[in-house]
Structure 1
């Protein structure tokens, strides 16, 4: 008999990142948790102005203390390899793929990515068999699911296993429910001088991040984009993207310099996300969040509260909310409009910033800012394609996707089961070009066309469209109390509801449009 209490707490397999040298490999295999147990202690300013220490215990410890997970070590032995050991279903397994490359535990030779992917398949089936042996799990084979949580190259191992039919079994692939990646170079690693890591650079298997090599083990055609997910739903993969290169101290800062400012110190922001085919030939972007963390280290992306909050909400949440800004019109400054009216060529570009906070959580769940090189960029021609001097309709495919947030109404602090979030939305004053020259009259760097903090609260209810209704408010007019009922309609692409919040700034340069909040059931 199936045990309905298993969901959403399925086993987690953690897949660590890249180790190049023998010393790094030996350090990795000497840690039973491969770094998933590493926390951080940082200084943080309190409400009274004083500074105190903030302790993040580690993702592993938090999963144990808050969600009842267990490791599989007992009396110095790995219970997964112990005959007769009865394993709990809610467990964390560390995939120790570097053991074979260790001079202590293996041959000292590093196997290729394809081998790592096949062994991941074997590990999943081995875990399934062991969990079925424990009658306390009340597990039937069809109910077994597993979550893959991966850092850096670990995410590529997961994708190789999921995408390449030659690298593992279909039974193991069918068991994977969700994949969460921290700072994975889904589209390879690029450097200032050599661009993509060259295929001939085989030292320490660095060519694993060469796009031609990646296409081979990901079963993709050769090309400049290997971030395409095939054979697995792209919306079931979450990409956590780091935006802080300066605190990545590997190679005395040389890596951060080579990766550039728009990176986590190793992986460029533009290379850290996935997408894939959806229904009707559409292209679906995987959900992602942006946090000001580096690739690893004390300010690293894995050992961060922001990372943990996104991880647990994606794995265990019940509601997904996406924010998209549909722009109907952006007006120009009066002087620029006059130049356009007299036949001059005008060009403009825009930066969209967003920072999202969740009720009862003191950390921003995602943040995209110009100063952190993660703002969303659009030109006027992208938002409104067409020829100069013609009426140009907005292209909704270019509407800035602001955020994807996962929430759990069962953990609501209110008896109503409502969920709430607040976000800062800013549109930066663009650079205008008139006949190829920058227009700087009355230009003040750092100014905004729009700057608003919006609070939304969603309420479950049987009479609501899609099971939810939504209220919103603007912080400057009604602090902390959303009271305006949003217009709503069913989603066209599946279960859920779409809410609309009008956005308008009438003073030139201004903007008119609507914030589209899409709420979908998530499991």
Structure 2
């Protein structure tokens, strides 16, 4: 990819989500920014114990104030849509893809076009923006070097994927200009509801059948047998999935939507349906980076108008280092009574839940959080982690090692003069459920307890003489609070030797029941 003086601050196109009724469409088109300008106010407990209000201005306002972006409205006119030759558009611009204008009775026909039409329109918008940007000599930009970021909410993410994946929808030049795609609460694997499961194809009200998997396969350029969350024709690692885990604050349809989507959802999109994956450059399946935040699909506690969402957005678009954490488990020990029952030939089943929360230094919010009480914890059975027959030696299955987090760090936001970036993650392995001969073993069970808990800090120092350009330290909070002091032994990341390093952090709970293993930390530039 060409490197320019603007990298990584490319123009941003925001693609809004689904509007079901004509009334919602008309309300949508009256807002110039189609929701990207909506903020939120929340109450937080200060160190004094007092409740104080926390204001999040909106993604639009923060991009303008934090990163010197500009909107494209001037004197009541959209400069991208204008045919005036004197329209000057700066490179750091935010453009709203107003695809619902055509469906409005005020601005269009009042008939909603299909999603394929919206995808083609996105392609046309990108090329028009490219020409406008390149026509401004202050931008010093050529069509070959022009790049754009796509940011989308809900169905907007499917519009973007249809354009990127389906070669019949739009031009190769426009697709080649897309650098990254960030999706908020997008139903990448469709929408499922209680009773009916996947939204039926015959449900044409408000084009809700756009979330039917058979319909999705058609506009995403996939076969009907394909997993519709798979990404083709675009690198899956350049798509970020922000997943909401709070259904209770989603008030659409009087709360019926939240009930129908279920607890493990954001009120509309189930957690299991909100992520993407695809083939990496090595031909192996890779998951897109993702984060989990306790926000609902939209509304006052919505995922777009949140500090957590904004921080993941900007660090993904502009950050310098991607870090992934994976827990490789080498051994899990059982309670003594359960171990005796197992040796006596009784049938044993066990399942484990993993919680994790990640925060960056100096901030009062979390980048990602997965918890049992928010129905977002990672679940593995003993058979997943150690496949094989009972009473035989079982080797760990690394393909099922829990992937704990993907975060992006931005050295420009460092609080240290060295440019060092630091984060901490709190990992818990909860007390498992044991089943002996079909009966739950509860003699030593305390709900909410855990068999492993560690708060670990990691700090990365820019160092061109170090492997991968980063010198890494880590530490355990219980040993040296707030100060990572152990030098990590890094090695090149297999298959990504030119830009990736990996190191391991040992973790162990030696008393029964316990866990032994290693936290595998992968860092990529």
Give the TM-score normalised by the residue count of structure 1: 0.98
Hey, what's the Cα distance between the residues in 2 that align with 1:193 and 1:520?
43
Residue 247 of structure 1: aligned partner: 249
Contact kept, 8 Å, 1:150 with 1:182, in 2: the verdict is: yes
Residue 473 of structure 1: aligned partner: 475
Residue 158 of structure 1: aligned partner: 160
Residue 494 of structure 2: aligned partner: 492
Residue 220 of structure 1: aligned partner: 222
Residue 447 of structure 1: aligned partner: 449
Matched pairs, number: 520
How far did 1:410 drift? 3.1
Residue 504 of structure 1: aligned partner: 508
Residue 107 of structure 2: aligned partner: 105
Hey, what's the Cα distance between the residues in 1 that align with 2:17 and 2:330?
43
* Equivalent residues in 2 for 1:407-426, closer than 5 Å: 407-426=409-428
Hey, what's the Cα distance between the residues in 2 that align with 1:76 and 1:467?
48
How far did 1:493 drift? 1.9
Hey, what's the Cα distance between the residues in 2 that align with 1:359 and 1:380?
35
**1:233-271 alpha-carbon deviations (Å, 9 max, x no partner):** 000000000000000001110000000000000000000
2:26 aligns to what SS in structure 1? helix
Residue 92 of structure 1: aligned partner: 94
Contact kept, 8 Å, 2:249 with 2:301, in 1: the verdict is: yes
Hey, what's the Cα distance between the residues in 1 that align with 2:72 and 2:464?
42
Hey, what's the Cα distance between the residues in 1 that align with 2:50 and 2:194?
41
Hey, what's the Cα distance between the residues in 2 that align with 1:508 and 1:362?
35
How far did 1:468 drift? 1.7
Contact kept, 8 Å, 1:3 with 1:138, in 2: the verdict is: no
How far did 1:469 drift? 2.2
Hey, what's the Cα distance between the residues in 1 that align with 2:416 and 2:151?
31
Hey, what's the Cα distance between the residues in 2 that align with 1:66 and 1:161?
30
Greater shift, 19-28 or 434-443, is seen at 434-443
CA RMSD of aligned residues (A): 1.0
Contact kept, 8 Å, 1:487 with 1:501, in 2: the verdict is: no
* Equivalent residues in 2 for 1:9-20, closer than 5 Å: 9-20=9-20
State which of 334, 337, 345 in structure 2 corresponds to 1:335. 337
Hey, what's the Cα distance between the residues in 2 that align with 1:55 and 1:506?
45
Contact kept, 8 Å, 1:211 with 1:223, in 2: the verdict is: no
**1:419-478 alpha-carbon deviations (Å, 9 max, x no partner):** 100111000011001111111111111110111111111122123222222111111121
How far did 1:3 drift? 8.4
Residue 39 of structure 2: aligned partner: 39
Residue 312 of structure 1: aligned partner: 314
2:399 aligns to what SS in structure 1? helix
* Equivalent residues in 2 for 1:117-266, closer than 5 Å: 117-223=119-225, 225-266=227-268
Hey, what's the Cα distance between the residues in 1 that align with 2:414 and 2:282?
36
How far did 1:416 drift? 1.8
How far did 1:81 drift? 2.3
**1:71-93 alpha-carbon deviations (Å, 9 max, x no partner):** 00001111112212011011000
Residue 517 of structure 2: aligned partner: 513
Hey, what's the Cα distance between the residues in 2 that align with 1:137 and 1:443?
64
How far did 1:141 drift? 1.3
2:367 aligns to what SS in structure 1? strand
Query: Which consecutive segments of 4 or more residues in structure 1 shift more than 4 A?
Result: none
Residue 53 of structure 1: aligned partner: 53
1:378 aligns to what SS in structure 2? strand
The unaligned stretches of length 5 or more in structure 1 are none
**1:210-236 alpha-carbon deviations (Å, 9 max, x no partner):** 000000000111137210000000000
* Equivalent residues in 2 for 1:59-98, closer than 5 Å: 59-82=59-82, 83-84=84-85, 85-98=87-100
Give the TM-score normalised by the residue count of structure 2: 0.98
